[in-house]
Amino acid sequence: DAKKLVRSPSGLRMVPEHRAARSPFGLDEPPWVPDKECPRCMQCDTKFDFITRKHHCRRCGKCFCDKCCSKKVPLPRMCFVDPVRQCAECALVSQKETEFYDKQLKVLMNGATFFVTLGTSDKSELMVCRLSNNQRYLVLDGDSHYEIEIMQISTVQILTEGFTPGGGNTRAIGMILQYKVPGSEEVMQMKFTASEDFSCNKKLSAAWLAAMHKATKLLYESRDQ
């Protein structure tokens, strides 16, 4: 998918040429609070003047003094080329998301093996499941082939085992995925179960499911924007 470099008041961004090609995990740039509407810092209430300058957080668009908006942090969900100025609260969120883009996104793209059951069928098929390089499709390959558009996913339920009433560690062993078929209102369901053949497969599948859980949270946030 072709991309273009664009400049906004917030900084340089590398974005897809066509909006339809954007990542389903992306966020739009927020509108900035107009200067005339923020005579004081929206965090510490310091009054702005010639010495105390105002700065806009690139993630929330609110207005802050330099002390409350001093951090420059990567913001890949808005496709910024360089780290951008963010308030303390937004910087913390963006730093956590950077782990997803640096580590978990690669796990999803590398894929993992699951037994996949379609709908109410009692038959399952061993398939390699991975996220496409453009982040827009979940690709399943086995004897069959499926491509599920991420934007069409309605719910993701991670299945776990090992929980006890008194607490304790749980392990992700699968997920139930519901998605809409493009061009209709029909909702399909798939169940993914981790293969028990090899211990290495179980670890890889658990890591993939954990990454998918995080991806789902970002997907929901993008939709709610």
**Rounded-to-10 torsion of CA 222, 138, 135, 216:** 30
pLDDT tens-digit series, residues 16-66: 888 888 899 999 999 999 999 999 999 999 999 989 999 999 999 999 999
- This prediction's pTM: 0.84
Q: What is the distance between the alpha carbons of residues 90 and 68, in angstroms, rounded to a whole number?
A: 11
Q: How does pLDDT run across 120-173, given as a tens digit for each residue?
A: 888 999 999 999 999 999 999 999 999 999 999 999 999 988 755 555 567 788
Query: pLDDT of 163-200, one tens digit each?
Result: 555 555 677 889 999 999 888 888 999 999 987 765 55
As a whole number of angstroms, the distance between CA 116 and CA 63 comes to: 49
Structure confidence at residue 198 (pLDDT): 54
Q: Exposed e or buried b for every residue in 11-29, given b needs 16+ CB within 10 A? A: bebebbeeeeebbbbbbeb
Largest CA distance in the chain: 71
Domains of the chain: 3-107 (3.30.40.10), 111-224 (2.30.29.160)
Specify the amino acid at residue 217.
Answer: K
In whole angstroms, give the CA distance from residue 35 to residue 91: 22
Helix (H) or strand (E) holding 214: helix 199-224
CA distances from 91 to 42, 73, 129 (A): 16, 6, 32
